[in-house]
Chains A and B, each alone.
Chain A
Amino acid sequence: MTDPCSAYRKRLHLYLDGEVASLEAQEIETHLAACHQCQTSLEEMRSMDRQLRAELRDFVDGDRPGGPDRLAQTIERVMREPPPRWRNAPTDSFSGRSRRRGGQQDRI
């Protein structure tokens, strides 16, 4: 037998992320109002995201000895580089020199 909720499973992620159009959101909300299983799934997903966001913030904002010095080191290292220049004649809103220095280019 076909699971009547299977069509909604993937769309619940999109709904959770606010990535569905208004009309589709209304359709999902109508289904949610009548389906306890999908309500629970959505709540689990929302709860996991919330928990993950909180734990991730805690992790990435955690202090590390010497951490703040890295900003100064980064600035110092960048400032040791030859200054970048326009390689091609600038267009649109920018104006400046038309030629870049013959420095090293990285793939980015």
Chain B
Amino acid sequence: MDTSPRDRANGKAPEATAPASDPSDAEMVRRTLGGDPGAFEVLVRRYHRDLLRLLRGITHNFEESEDLTQDAFLRAYRNLDRYDPQRPFRPWLWTIGIRLALHALARKGRKNVSLDQDVPRLEGGGRQEGPWFADDRSRQELDAKLLHDDLMRALESVDAPYRTVLILRVLEERSYEEISEILGIPKGTVMSRLFRARQQLKEKMREVQ
């Protein structure tokens, strides 16, 4: 059987949307605008978790991402009549959430947010050898933990616009076309930002390790 280049190079996880038996997003929007605010609750429940994950990835701050997620739903609700029902709801909501996150980061004048509150870091930071390891498993667990911390720190120091594209691609497995639509930038810009993001991440990993 012939497979697409995408399939050959990298598999894509199925999109989380409404199950076929549930009312569509567009139907929920129609009901909300028709005077049934409870219908919007369905959309909040449907997308809250995924939007929160995405914004956690972008901000690297649990509390801030929770506030931003709430703000994104609120903005979406207030501006629901601007949503085009011919297009999918989720990318529209994502656009709102990502813009809020990037504005929040820019307002604070930081592209780096401390991870210390969320990810404990061991003194010294580097790989450590020593007799205090009870066994190989303990050592492996520590190595894995340090790699996790290093990678998250490196990602955190990648410029926010590049990081956002990388997260949409790697975490959500979005196509360039989808990323272009969500962020409102040309596909060529998606390509170059992604290329730069991966380069920066590689360089930062070398620095933190």
Contact = CB atoms under 8 A, between A and B. Distances in A.
B85 A56 contact: no
B30 A94 contact: yes
Interface residues of A, number: 58
Given A53-B170, A60-B57, A88-B81, 16 more contacts: A10-B195, A13-B191, A15-B9, A17-B169, A21-B5, A48-B201, A57-B171, A59-B56, A59-B119, A67-B62, A74-B70, A78-B73, A84-B33, A84-B80, A85-B81, A86-B81
Contacts of B37: 78-79, 83
Nearest to A13: B195
A55 B33 contact: no
A45 interface: yes
Nearest to B148: A55
Contacts of B52: 60, 70
A74 B5 contact: no
Interface of A: 10, 13-22, 24-25, 45-46, 48-49, 51-53, 55-62, 64, 67, 70-71, 73-75, 77-79, 81, 83-88, 90, 92-97, 100, 103-106, 108
Contact of B148 (A58, A84, A95): A58
A70 B69 contact: yes
> Ordered nearest first, which 6 A-B pairs have the shortest CB separation?
A18-B6, A25-B5, A60-B53, A84-B80, A60-B56, A74-B70
B194 A81 contact: no
A83 B62 contact: no
A81 B34 CA distance: 15
A105 B32 contact: no
B4 interface: yes
A15 to B, nearest CB: 5
B21 interface: no
Nearest to B37: A83
A96 B37 CA distance: 14
A105 B4 contact: no
Given A10-B195, A60-B171, A106 B78 contact: yes
B9 A84 contact: no
Contacts of B8: 18, 25
